[in-house]
Structure 1
Amino acid sequence: MNVHTNADQIEINGVVVTATPGQRPALVDGCDTVVGLFQKRCEQLGDRTAHREKDLGIWQSYSWKDYWNHAKWIGLGLRALGMERGEVVSILSEDRKEWLYADMGIQCVGGIASGVYTTDSASQLEYLLRDSGSRFLFVENDEQLDKFLEIEDQAEHVVKVIILDQDGLHDLRHEKCVFIDELYDTGRAFEAENHGFFEEEIAKTQPGDTGLLIYTSGTTGMPKGAMLSQENVIAGCVSGAHALPTQDDDEQLCFLPLCHILERNVSAYFPIAGKSTVNFAESTETVFDNLQEVSPAHFTAVPRVWEKVYSRVLVLAQEATPLGRLCFKLAVKAGLKRADYLLERKPVPMGTKINYAVWDFLVLRNLRRMLGMDKMRRGGTGAAPISPELIRWYWAIGVQLLEGYGMTENSGIASINLPDDNKIGTVGKAVPGFDVRIAEDGEIQTFGLNNFQGYWRNNEKTAETFTDDGWLRTGDVGKVDEDGFLSITGRLKDIIITAGGKNITPAEIESRLKFSHYISDAVVIGDARKYLTCLIMIDQENVEKFAQDLKVPFSDFASLCAAQEVVDLIKKEVDEVNKDFARVEQIKDFRLINVLLTAEDEELTATMKLKRGFVEKKHAGLIEEMY
């Protein structure tokens, strides 16, 4: 089944966008490259605030003029140091304004910007630098610099390392290392002798030029560099303008890694297209505090973040007075009743409206203010399945949470639900300017200007990723219903064939398990085996609260996982999920992974996805116990 969404020229919040599937050009305000659009926005907006960032606990504002000048000095500084058009430059830093300055500066002078996750090890950094051929590397601080110094001998091709934060490095003397202020000075000096060079380089850039090199998370081996062109990014902005419209007075909060295409879109390119203001969270630990301070117009996060917010609210509700708990319960009940009408696109009865309005005034409005969601027009979720009940809960409290779908290889946006065209349990309809079809084997395939150019220096993998007629093979399995809504049911490579010859898609079972508030992740095992088993990661915060309420003794995470009451709790959750599956698809046994995993662990990618192969290998002993 094919789904096609057409998009002619249209004005959205003052931004004119144009795109039609498979046809050129994609345009935002007449610009066919992101660097050209960047120049136009900086000229238009000048002293208006582009970014905010905290310094010594106080929010500081930085204008579009600051954005332009610093990007220009970085780009010109790199060219003065010998960078050439078409060359990759790597960025190893947490989110901050300089990340975006470097990103745009590199692209404006014809370079290719490539982000490196700060959780990557020194050996992973060495692989990425070698594979990309990067001769220039931006690092945030001494911690990230240490990774380069550890592999310096294997990265002899790197000629300069630019350091963003001087703290603890004032006495550094290294022939390859310079601080960002020194690069700015080099850029200023180059500009004085080459007036207009920066603008000329922007004008040289063509839609087909590669602008980004984004390494995939490597769940099935070493990461591959996906090449995204200027046209890919602009096409993504066109899709975003239709599906995720941004207004020029919107405030946003940036906290997911800018290496990832999702955050790069919503915090770098969509704000350039929509003229909005981006606020940088201080860290992942402070994101909820920063959310309260910024109160953004829209907020996009992975399901774990939305689950974390929900868990916090439940804990606070349980700690409230009896009257407070009752009011919260009644308010959510009123919200759910209204949400069900909205989600089914039915008129809300007057009585339901009035009941909701009362409880919204008494409880829910204050709850949204406390969460920093009182000005939020919509919330976005993607990158992993999310519980339909969790989406209903957010709609109940007055936050329109919408699920979407995309991947690096199609510029991060392929389909999305809309506030007035939404179906829970799906990832929405194909975005304007893009086509989606389902192949005979159930694979989701996409076509349009969002589709990437291919993998860096890997023609063989690129050829495997496209069909003979030019469609992108996503590797995801799914279906499209009669209304055009897309559902994801799993990954082709993850399909389990049991010893009895039954084909099973584990993602469906894993997703249902992860909908439990007590389970953060799960890996179903069963390939070439008689029955299915599962390795489960518990949700630490919710399970600890459960154990404390029941006075279950535990001293650390391992002892928490070993507690019989916890094992029984998870068994109850597994049994509940099993009821919805055929006998051959049911989990017969499970084990809890009793170590807390972070992105530094080999079992998890930087985007917190479990690497199935690593998990099965590392926990082979637990698996064998179940058979």
Structure 2
Amino acid sequence: MIQTIPAKFKETAEKFAKRPALKFKYHGAYISISFTELQNRVETMAKGLQELGIQKGDKVAILSENRTEWVRTDLAALSLGAISVPIHTTLSPNIIKHILNNSSTRLLLVSNQEQFNKIKLIINDLPDLQIIIYINLDHPEENNTGDKKLMSLEEVMELGKGSKKEISAEVSPDDVASIVYTSGTTAVPKGVMLTHHNFLFDAEAAVTVVPVDEHDVLLSFLPLSHVLERTAGYYAPLVCRGCCIAYAESPKTLLQNLKEVKPTILVSIPRIFEKIHTGIWDKVKDGSKLKHYLFIWALKQESGTFKQQIANRLVFHKIRAKLGGRFRLTISGGATLNHKLARFFDRIGIKIIEGYGLTETAPVVAVNRPDNIKFGTVGQQLPGVEIKIASDKEILVKGPNVMKGYYKSEELTQEVIDSEGWFHTGDLGHLTEDGFLVIVGRKKEMISLSNGKIVWPEQMEIILNNDKFIIESMVYGNNRSYVVAFLIPDWQEVNRNLESLGISSREPDQLVKEPKLIELFQQRIEEINKQFADWEKIRKFILLPKEFSPQKDEVTPTLKLRRSVIERRFQKEIEKMYR
């Protein structure tokens, strides 16, 4: 039977009443909230929002890092037939203003002073916003919100406890549950309307082919405001299967929280796996010669052999223990994963299941199965989802997970969903003979050189970022005669080599201009260029001192490059490389 998200959650909460639903860190220790407690808090908050006049169709925005209150607010709003509008905490005030105004948000939940300060900067430019609810503010009485009502979440809960009204909203599976604004790598974020059915179909289909149950524990650190975490790290495991979700304090504390929570599942993005991979190799290099030899020996052992069992016990078991030691599987999405990285983790006993999806498809379209993984692909389509490759290699998708449309933009909707219901993803790829999907690149990010040759920047950047000295890169060359790149060094790795290079400075701002370091990177690029076709070879590059930042809108919250923003910001440097 097709259900709404709150109805499905209530069913799951009753089934697993006493089991832990959510965990959060409080005064140095993780504390659990049971399904019954969470359901009670959701109902109380829904009544509180109802007392404030929130009703079916109203927009309730959430500007908060991952925490139990995020889930509570989302489920409470959906219970009333309201529409939740998640906002990434890394977004600039200007983009937040666009989202709040475009969505006509009436009520906003804000987590802390840092996020509230962004709202203060735009408070007079938000005509539809009426109520701001905060979780923690330094001095609430000192925050002037003009004609907007400011109140604490505790006050909303008190309103709910005192309410005599029952929740009477009639919510349908085909009602819009959320307007999720796309990361916008090429333009201003668009509001994607996803229904209750979009989300629950996708969540159920995902856990059918990647089975999870109430005994699984997830550590959540990707932003819930991103649809990957929303579906794969919240609706699918918690709402549909009764898993326990623990929240990391922040991405920076991920390794520490992994040891504390000991999750069985982690939903992640390639960048995190890259950092863990680098960390493992750093430990190996800093260890004794014997440890280094033993690690290399262990990696070479064939799966299923007696020697591999010894390697697992002596080497890999210890590595997994530092990541909690209980991983049953990990999930990678949001960007393309280097297949060499997937093989490396598979060797050390950590299964990475790569999938593919978009905000507009709620998001999962295809995923590798735990017992049928094909490295270098994003797996096979979900049951109930259709994939078709157009004549120009664009990936087309049809199914109950495809969005209702773009909010307030029928014209844009018609551009991407054709008359037969196929959603045009903008991604290019192909299907293998056995139905595994291979992603080539983004249609809009394809580089056309002035000689007519085509370059796929994302594939090149994966290879560049795999070099031990490069942590991030961006390839450029549209309508130019050759390809250039911005390279951000891995300063930890660089610092290890400064002495042997005869460089005394350790400041990145100075090091990017250091001739000896530039020469080292020139050698690395010459070696990397051997993997590229002649027209793809990087002719010139510039070193940058810092990674691209979400705060500067240079990358999306899931760290995808906003190429047009970076190109504008570094226009002078680009022109310099073409002189």
What is the TM-score of this pair, normalised by structure 1? 0.88
Unaligned runs of at least 5 residues, structure 1: 1-29, 339-347
Structure 1 residue 322 corresponds to structure 2 residue 289: yes
Q: How far has the Cα of 1:395 moved from its partner?
A: 0.8
- Work out whether residues 54 and 80 of structure 2, in 8 Å CA contact, stay in contact via their aligned partners in 1: no
Q: Is the 8 A contact 2:85 2:179 kept in 1?
A: yes
Aligned residue type for 2:162? A
Match of 1:433 in 2: 384
Distance 1:548 1:288, change over 3 A: farther
Q: Which position in structure 2 is the counterpart of 1:570?
A: 521
Query: Deviations for 1:393-450, whole angstroms, at most 9, x for unmatched residues?
Result: 1111111112111110111111111232111111111122211111111111111111
d(CA) in 2 for partners of 1:465, 1:545: 49
Q: 1:461 aligns with which of 374, 397, 412?
A: 412
Q: Aligned-pair distance for 1:31?
A: 4.7
Residues in 2 aligned to 1:562 and 1:485: alpha-carbon distance in whole angstroms: 45
SS of alignment partner, residue 403 of structure 1: strand
Q: What is the identity, as a one-letter code, of the residue corresponding to 2:188? A: M
Picking from 368, 371, 377, the partner of 2:328 is 377
Instruction: Give the TM-score taking structure 2 as reference length.
Output: 0.95
Q: 1:311 to 1:511 in 2, by over 3 A?
A: closer
1:75 maps to which of 37, 46, 53 = 46
- Aligned equivalent of 1:275, options 223, 229, 242: 242
Cα offset, 1:465, TM superposition:
1.0
Q: 1:115 to 1:551 in 2, by over 3 A?
A: farther
The equivalent residue for 1:407 is 358
1:179 aligns with 2:131: no
Indicate yes or no: 2:283 matched with 1:332.
no
Shift of 1:109: 0.7
Classify 1:98/1:551 alpha carbon distance in 2 versus 1 (closer, same or farther; 3 Å).
farther
C-alpha contact (below 8 Å) 1:438/1:445 kept by paired residues: yes
Aligned to 2:490: 539
Conserved in 1, the CA contact under 8 Å of 2:86 and 2:225? yes
Residue 84 of structure 2 is matched in structure 1 by 113
Unpaired stretches in structure 2, ≥5 consecutive residues: none
CA distance in 1, matches of 2:353, 2:436: 13
Which contiguous aligned blocks of 4+ residues in structure 1 show a shift greater than 4 angstroms? 170-175, 548-551
Report the counterpart of residue 367 of structure 1 in structure 2: 319
State how far apart, in whole Å, the 1-side matches of 2:137 and 2:574 are. Answer: 48
C-alpha distance in 1 between matches for 2:239 and 2:198: 15
Cα distance in structure 2, aligned partners of 1:267 and 1:422: 21
State the alpha-carbon separation in 2 of the partners of residues 410 and 549 from structure 1: 51
Q: In the alignment, what sits opposite 2:260?
A: 293
Q: How does 1:28-67 map to 2 (within 5 A)?
A: 30-67=1-38
Contact 1:544 1:560 (C-alpha < 8 Å) held by counterparts: no
Q: Distance in 1 between matches of 2:425 and 2:220?
A: 27
Match of 1:358 in 2: 310
Higher relative contact order (CA 8 A, sep 6+): 1
1:157 equivalent among 125, 128, 131: 128
Which residue does 2:73 correspond to in 1?
102
Q: Where do 1:178-197 residues align within 5 Å?
A: 178-190=151-163, 193-194=164-165, 197=166
Equivalent residue, structure 2, for 1:614: 565
Contact 1:142–1:169 (Cα < 8 Å) also in 2 = no
Equivalent position SS for 1:299? strand
Identify which of 163, 178, 189 aligns with 1:223. 189
Query: What is the aligned partner in structure 1 of residue 102 from structure 2?
Result: 131
Residue 102 of structure 1 aligns to a residue whose secondary structure is: helix
**Of 576-585 and 260-269, the range deviating more from structure 2:** 576-585
* Alignment RMSD (CA, Å): 1.9
| CA contact 1:213–1:225 (8 Å) conserved in 2 | yes
Deviation at 1:123, TM superposition (A): 2.2
1:256 partnered with 2:222: yes
Partner of 2:437: 486
Cα 1:557–1:463, aligned 2, differ >3 Å: closer, same or farther?
Answer: same
Following superposition of structure 1 onto structure 2, how do residues 467-482 of structure 1 map, counting pairs within 5 Å?
467-482=418-433
User: Which residue identity does 1:264 align to in structure 2?
Assistant: R
Q: Which of 117, 127, 140 is the aligned partner of 1:169?
A: 140
- Distance in 2 between the 1:320 and 1:36 partners? 54
